[in-house]
């Protein structure tokens, strides 16, 4: 499962707009979940860093 399927790299025609919109929504969901994981890791690592100091 690649991040960018080959269909998404092609220039979308007008009949591909629903697929493009759903692809962008899926990409936004994965980006927001990655940001959530990164912020959770940051919030977890800050107290651990204080303990280890």
Q: For 1-53, what is each residue's pLDDT tens digit? A: 455 555 555 555 556 667 888 888 999 999 999 999 999 999 888 877 777 76
Query: Structural domain boundaries of the chain?
Result: 6-45
Q: Tokens 């936004």 sit at which residue?
A: 28
pLDDT at 38 (0 to 100): 94
């Amino acid at each position: 499962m690649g991040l960018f399927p080959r269909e998404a790299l092609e220039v979308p025609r007008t009949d591909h707009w629903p697929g493009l919109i759903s692809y962008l929504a899926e990409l936004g969901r994965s980006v927001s979940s990655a940001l959530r994981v990164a912020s959770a890791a940051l919030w977890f690592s800050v107290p651990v860093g204080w303990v280890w100091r």
